[in-house]
Amino acid sequence: MAETGWLSVGDGEQARRIATLSRDGKGAPVVWLGGFKSDMVSTKAVHLDGWAARQGRPFLRFDYSGHGVSEGRFEDGTIGRWLEETLAVIRHNAKSRPLLVGSSMGGWIALLAARRLVKETPELRPMGLVLIAPAVDFTQELMLKGLSAAARLEIEEKGVHFRPSAYSPEPYPITRNLIEEGQRHLLLGGTIQTGCPVHVLQGMRDPDVPWRHALTVMEHISGDESVITLIKDGDHRLSRDEDLARLVAAIEGFDPA
């Protein structure tokens, strides 16, 4: 494994060090954007790192603040904060147009990052996006709408609600700031401009991001060169051997090398 690198993001009290792992190689860099409460040593990220090593491809992954080994408290995280870190990492490390691979929340952030890069850093505009169970607008569409009235009241009055997790023994905090700040980044109210082709991989047995939500995302993406693969027996993580093979095939389908 490559040695962990560190990138300082933000100023003053908002400054935090973001942990990165970068593999050199030839061709378009593949950038991994993880999910909510995930990290850069997840099954899919590690599998892609092994693939990149065998193929001689550049591969970049990192932990959002409050995730993995990066600095910061998870409770302070927002979509805008994690997007800021994503853009900083890409701009600091990528030497050419990247291929963004976003999982769950990372799919939403990948779409937001693509839009920003096209406008602000066109030399690094993505050459493609691979989105795994993209949780676009999840703070509003999947999280808030799934909460009970009591949980919503707790968020309003106390600023946080702790929700049990199917992936960890510890509950995770849903903060009022996460919900409210997320409204600034909603995409499903209009056309999603990516400036590049998109391939969505979605399990039809996903309990967290319903497959119909992925279809809604596809309906809003403007590019004609966008496709979706529905895996009938696939769950949210899509980390089985056959799922990982589909992920690699989707990346190689862009022929970015």
For position 48, which CATH number holds? 3.40.50.1820
Catalytic residue among 38, 103, 236, 243: 236
Q: Write down the pLDDT at residue 170.
A: 87
Domain housing 110: 5-136+190-252
Structure tokens belonging to residue 131: 């989105």
Q: Write down the pLDDT at residue 1.
A: 58
Among the listed residues 235, 239, 231, the one whose alpha carbon sits nearest the alpha carbon of residue 201: 231
132 and 102 Cβ atoms separated by less than 8 Å: yes
Strand 160-163 and strand 172-175: the pairing is antiparallel
Q: Write down the pLDDT at residue 168.
A: 82
Residue numbers of the chain with a pLDDT score lower than 70:
1, 256-257
220 domain residue, yes or no? yes
Angle between helix 105-120 and helix 79-93 axes, rounded to 10 deg:
60
State the Cα–Cα distance between residues 40 and 17, nearest whole angstrom.
15
98 domain residue, yes or no? yes
Q: How many domains, in total, are found in the chain?
A: 1
Question: 73-82: per-residue pLDDT in tens?
Answer: 999 999 999 9
76 domain residue, yes or no? yes
Catalytic residue among 206, 208, 226, 243: 206
Classify residue 184 by burial, with Cβ atoms within 10 Å: 0-12, 13-18, 19+.
exposed
Contacts of residue 5, defined as CB under 8 A and 6 or more positions apart, other chains included, come to 19, 20, 21, 22
Structure tokens belonging to residue 108: 């939403």
184 domain residue, yes or no? no
166 domain residue, yes or no? no
145 domain residue, yes or no? no
The DSSP secondary-structure symbol of 29 reads P
State the Cα–Cα distance between residues 65 and 75, nearest whole angstrom.
10
Q: Write down the pLDDT at residue 167.
A: 81
Catalytic (active site) residue 236: yes
Catalytic residue among 104, 161, 185, 208: 104
Structure tokens belonging to residue 2: 């490559």
Helix (H, G, I), strand (E, B) or coil at 40: coil
Catalytic (active site) residue 76: no
State the Cα–Cα distance between residues 101 and 24, nearest whole angstrom.
17
Catalytic (active site) residue 220: no
217 domain residue, yes or no? yes
228 and 204 Cβ atoms separated by less than 8 Å: no
47 domain residue, yes or no? yes
